A and B are shown apart, each in its own frame.
Chain A
Amino acid sequence: MSTKIVTARVGIPDSFLLSTYLENGGYAAFKKALSMNPEDVHAEVTASGMLGRGGAGFEAGRKWSMLKQDPIRYLVVNGDESEPSTFKDHLLVENDPHQLIEGTLITAYAIGATRAFIYLRGEFALGLERVQTAINEAYAYGAIGENIFGSGFSIDLVLQPGAGAYICGEETALIESLEGKRGFPRIKPPYFPAVIGLYGAPTIVNNVETMSNIPWIISNGGKAFAALGKGRSTGTRLFALSGDVMKPGNYELEMTSKTFRELIYDPALGGGLKEGRSVKAVIPGGVSAPWIGPDNLDLPLGQDEVAQAGSMLGSGSIIVLDDHSCAVRAVWRITKFFNRESCGQCTPCREGSGWIEKIMHRIELGSGTESDLDLLLDVCDNIAPGLTWPPQQTTICVLGPSIPSSVVSGIKMFRDEFMIHIKEEGCPFVH
Chain B
Amino acid sequence: MSFFNPENLEKAQVLIGLYPDKRSALIPLCHLAQGQHGHLSNEAMEQIADLLEIQPAEVLGTASFYDMLHTEEVGKYLVGVCTNVACMLGGGIELLEHASDVLGVPLGGTTEDGMFTLEEVECVAHCDKAPCAQVNYRFFGPLANGDFDQLLDDLRNDRLSESVPPHGVLSRVFRDAPAMVPLEIIHRERRAMDDEKKARQAALNKDAGGNQ
Contact = CB atoms under 8 A, between A and B. Distances in A.
Please determine whether chains A and B interact with each other in the same assembly. Answer: yes
Interface of A: 37-39, 69, 71-72, 81-87, 89-90, 112, 114-115, 121-126, 128-129, 132-133, 135-136, 139-140, 144-146, 152-156, 158-166, 177-183, 199, 240-244, 248-250, 283, 287, 317, 319, 321, 325, 329-330, 333-334, 337, 340-341, 343, 431
A248 B87 CA distance: 12
Interface stretch (B99-107, B143-151, B178-186): B178-186
A164 B66 contact: yes
Contact of A165 (B66, B91, B127): B66
Nearest to B185: A154
A393 B84 CA distance: 25
Interface in B94-136: 94, 122-128, 130, 134, 136
26 contacts: A38-B197, A69-B194, A84-B84, A112-B190, A112-B197, A115-B20, A123-B125, A124-B137, A128-B170, A128-B171, A132-B171, A154-B181, A154-B185, A154-B189, A158-B19, A163-B30, A165-B67, A180-B27, A180-B52, A182-B62, A183-B66, A248-B130, A249-B128, A287-B85, A319-B85, A319-B89
Given A123-B134, A139-B177, A340 B62 contact: no
Interface string B77-93: 00000011110110101
B25 interface: yes
A161 B27 contact: yes
Contacts of A156: 18, 180-181, 186
A251 to B, nearest CB: 10
Interface residues of B, number: 67
Given A39-B200, A180-B24, A136 B173 contact: yes
A160 B28 contact: yes
A112 B83 contact: no
A123 B65 contact: no
Nearest to B59: A180
Given A112-B190, A179-B21, A243-B85, A37 B173 contact: no
Contacts of A329: 88
Given A37-B200, A161-B28, A337 B122 contact: yes
A126 B140 CA distance: 13
Nearest to A120: B171
Contacts of B206: none
B86 A84 contact: yes
- 7 pairs of A and B residues whose beta carbons are closest in the complex: A164-B67, A180-B26, A163-B66, A139-B177, A164-B68, A180-B23, A242-B127
B85 A89 contact: no
Interface in B15-55: 18-21, 23-28, 30-31, 52
B176 interface: yes
Contacts, number: 209
B62 A181 contact: yes
Contacts of A166: 122
Given A122-B68, A319-B85, A333-B88, A136 B128 contact: no
A52 to B, nearest CB: 18
A329 B89 CA distance: 10
A128 B23 contact: no
B29 to A, nearest CB: 9
Given A71-B191, A85-B85, A129-B173, A240 B197 contact: no
A125 B180 contact: no
B179 to A, nearest CB: 9
A362 to B, nearest CB: 17
Contact of A123 (B28, B61, B68, B200): B68
A179 B173 contact: no
A258 to B, nearest CB: 18
A136 B178 CA distance: 9
Nearest to A181: B62
Given A125-B136, A163-B66, A199 B86 contact: no
Contact of A242 (B20, B66, B130): B130
Contact of B122 (A136, A179, A240, A340): A340
